Structure 1
C-alpha cells in the first residue's frame, strides 16, 4: 500500500476529535485516513507529550526526535509544559488519596489516568520501573479476586461467620492458601465482620446437685451417641410463646432430636427423648430444670439405660455447647432480621430450616471446618 503523508493540521484535528471521545472509525471516515495504526500513533505521541513528532517525515518514526537538539525552542517548551501538566495531575491524585505511593496506589493511579496519558509516561513521572508496575498489578488483581470471594461468602452466610470460618471457605476456593490475618483485615476494611452478640453475665448460684455433674465441662466424645446434651430455650417471636427442646450429640455438635411446643412441660422433654434410639450407658447432660429433675424423666432415662448428668444450678457454662447452639439460632435468624417475627407457623418453619442447615451445611472450626454431618460421615 502506498504511504500517504498527512498534514500537521489533520493530525491536530485527530487529537481534537479523540479528546471529544470520537471513535477511531468515525475519525478515519470523516478525515479520510486509511490506517487505524496512524491514528493510534498520533494519539500516543500526544499523550506522551511528543507532538513535535507530528512534523516528522514518513519512515522516520523511530529516529525522529531522539536528539533533543533537533527540537525548536517552541516545541521543547511545549514538551516541558506537557510533562509538568502530567506531573501536576498525577501528584494531585496522590494528594487527594492521602496515602504514600505504595503498589496498590500506583495501580489505582494508572487505572484512573491511563485514558489521558500513556502508562509509560505515568510510570516515568513516578520514577517506577515498568516491570515493578506489572508485578504489582498482578498482585492487586489477585487481592481484588480474594476480596470479591470474601464479600460473597459473608453475604451468602448472612454475616454470621467470623474470619476463621471465612478463611476456611476462601482456602477451599483458591489453590494458594490465604492467611487468616489477611482475611480479617479485608473483612474489617469492608465492615463484613460477624454480627457480635451481647455477652450475658450471670452470677452462679450455689452448687446444688440433683444428679452428679459427670461432664464437668469436658464435652469431648470419642464416638457418636456417647455424650448427649439437652436443653430448652424460649422462642418469643410468634403470636404466642413457643419452646424448643433439643438434644445435641457432643461428638460432632449435631442436633439429633428436637421438639417445638407451646408449653414448657414434661411431655415436651419426654417426646424429644423418645425420638431417638440411644445405646445403654450413654451420658445425657442437662441443667437442673424441673422437667429434668422430675420423676417421669428419671424413669424414662432409667428405662433407656441412660446415665444422667446435671449442671450446677445457675451455671449455663456447664452446658455450653447446646446453650451456644440456641444462642446462634436466635442471633442468626430472628435477631438478625426482626421482620422474621411473625406467625407461630413461620417461626417453626424458620427453626426447622435452621437446624437442617446447621447439621448439613454450617461449618464449625472445631470440626476442621466441616458441617456436623460431613464430620460424622468422614469419621465413619
Structure 2
C-alpha cells in the first residue's frame, strides 16, 4: 500500500521523464509497471489522485454472521452442520467468527506425561550386565523391564558413546599386509563380477522384454523402458544399484511405475490397430490405420496412432530397389507418348497402364502382368505366370478388353518399350479393339510411374517382408492373386477418401 505522497511523486516524475516507465521505476524503486500506468490514467482523468484506496466491501453482512453464530449455538455447536445448512462460510471463517463472538469457547488443555524414574543402582547394574552379557541386548532389556534404546542411553550416560556395548574378548588376529592386500583385491574382483552380471542381466532383459539387440546402449532407452527393466530385476538387485546403472532418477522411476499401473485408456484402440495391421498384410501405415479406425468409429488422433504403433512394434516394411527389364531394342516403330506423365483420369477406362514385374523366390521366378486404370488405381485385369512371354501379356489384354465390350469406352493403353508390346499378337489385339497405344521414352521409368508405383506397393507390403522358403510356385501365384483381389476390394486409399477402388466406384454408382 503506497501513500498519497508516494503515488503523486511517482506520477509527477513519470510526466517529467516524458512517460518513461523504466526510468521512473529505476529512480524511485517503486511501483510496478501496471500500477504506475493506472495512477497516471487516474491523474489525467481527475487531474488529481484520490487520498486513499477504496476498501473492498465485506463478503458477508453482519446479519449473515449473526445467523451463522445463532445456528451454531442452536445445533450442538457443530461447525460442519452450520456450513451444510447455510451454505456459507468456510470452516476457517466460521471458526474466526465464533472465537470473536464467544471468546470463552476457546479452551486449551495443557498436560504432561510423567516420565518413569529409574534409580542409579538399576542403571549401573543394567550397564554392567550389558557390557558383560552372554546373550543379546534385547534379552537384558526385557530382564530389567526397559526397552533396548533405554539400556543403550544408560550406557552412553555412564560410559560415553565411544565405549563398546560389549566387553567380551574378541579374538581377531591382526592380518598381515599381504593378506590385507589380497582381501582388497578379492573384494574388488567380486565387485567387478557383480557389475558385469548386472550389465549382462540388463541386456538380456532388454532383449527379452523390449525386443532390443544385445548390443543396445542402455542409456539410450526411454525412462519408461528403463522402468520395465528395473521392475524385472529388482528381485535380484537393489533398487539404488539398478537406478545408478541405468542412469534413471528415482522420481522418474516411480512416476513411470505409477503410470504403468493405471488402466490403459487406449487398450481397445491397441487391439483394433493390431487386428487391422495383421489382417491387411502388415502394410498399413499410420494414415491408413487412422482411416480404418474412423470407419470403425474409433476416434483418436494420427499422432496417437503413431505412438501406439511404435509401442506395439508394428513396423511397415520399406521398399527395395529391384525391377524386371523387358526391353529388347527397337524391334518396331514406337508410338507417341500420349500419356506424357499425366496419370489423372476423369472417368474409368480413359487411361490404362501396363508393365511386367518379376518375383524371385527359392522355388523359381514368377512374373506378373497387370492392367491399371488411372481413374482410381484399380487393377482391371492381370495374369501371373512363370515366363514373361507373349501369352502372359496377350491373355491379360484379352481379359481387359472384355471389360469394355458393349461400351463406348476406348482407353489409351500406355506401356514401356518392352518387346511384349511390339509383337504382332499385341498389335493385332489393340487394332481389333480400337485401342490407342502409348509408350514411354527409352529407359525412362518415370513415364510409367503409376504402374511402377503399384509394383512397389505390392512388393513392399507383400513380397519383401515375408520369407518365401518352402513356398511352391503354385502357392506363390495364389498369394499374389489373393493380394490383388484384396487390393481392389478392401485396401483403402487415402486419395479415394479412405475407400478401396471398388468401394469408391460403388459410392459414385459407376459399377455395373
- The match for 1:299 among 416, 422, 428 is 428
**Separation in 2, partners of 1:109, 1:146:** 21
Partners of 2:480 and 2:473 in 1: CA distance: 11
Question: Matches of 1:200 and 1:105 in 2, distance apart?
Answer: 50
Greater C-alpha radius of gyration: 2
- Cα deviation for residue 238 of structure 1 reads 6.0
- The alpha-carbon distance between structure 1 residues 70 and 290, as it changes in their structure 2 partners (threshold 3 A), is farther
Note if 1:190 corresponds to 2:312.
Answer: yes
State the partner residue of 1:29. Answer: none
Length-normalised TM-score, structure 2:
0.45
Q: Which residue number in structure 1 is paired with residue 498 of structure 2?
A: 369
Query: Larger relative contact order (C-alpha < 8 A, sep ≥ 6)?
Result: 1
1:70–1:340 distance in 2 versus 1, CA, 3 Å: farther
Checking the alignment, whether the CA contact within 8 Å between 2:489 and 2:501 is kept in structure 1 is yes
Does the 8 A contact of 1:243 with 1:260 survive in 2?
A: yes
Asked whether the 8 Å contact 2:269–2:298 carries over to 1, the reply is: no
Output the aligned Cα RMSD. 3.6
The answer to whether the Cα contact below 8 Å between 1:231 and 1:322 also exists between their aligned partners in 2 is yes
Partner of 1:210: 334
Shift of 1:228: 0.9
Contact 1:217 1:318 in 2 (8 A): yes
TM-score under structure 1 normalisation?
0.60
Among 142, 162, 179, the residue aligned to 2:285: 162
SS state at 2:372 partner: strand
Structure 2 distance, partners of 1:111, 1:246, is: 50
1:249 aligned to 364, 373, 381, which one? 373
Shift of 1:151: 2.7
Alpha-carbon distance, 1:111 to partner = 6.6
Contact kept, 8 Å, 1:252 with 1:372, in 2: the verdict is yes
Deviation larger for 187-196 or 306-315: 187-196
1:145-194 CA distance string (max 9 Å, x none): 32333233223324211111111112223353x22222223223333231
The count of residues paired between Structure 1 and Structure 2 equals 263
In structure 1, the partner of 2:356 is 232
Aligned partners of 1:270, 1:110: CA distance in 2, in Å?
Answer: 62
Note the residue ranges of structure 2 that are not aligned, 5 or more in a row: 1-110, 116-238
Q: Distance in 2 between matches of 1:150 and 1:334?
A: 22
Describe the shift of the 1:312–1:144 C-alpha distance in structure 2 as closer, same or farther (beyond 3 A).
same
Query: Are 2:382 and 1:258 aligned?
Result: yes
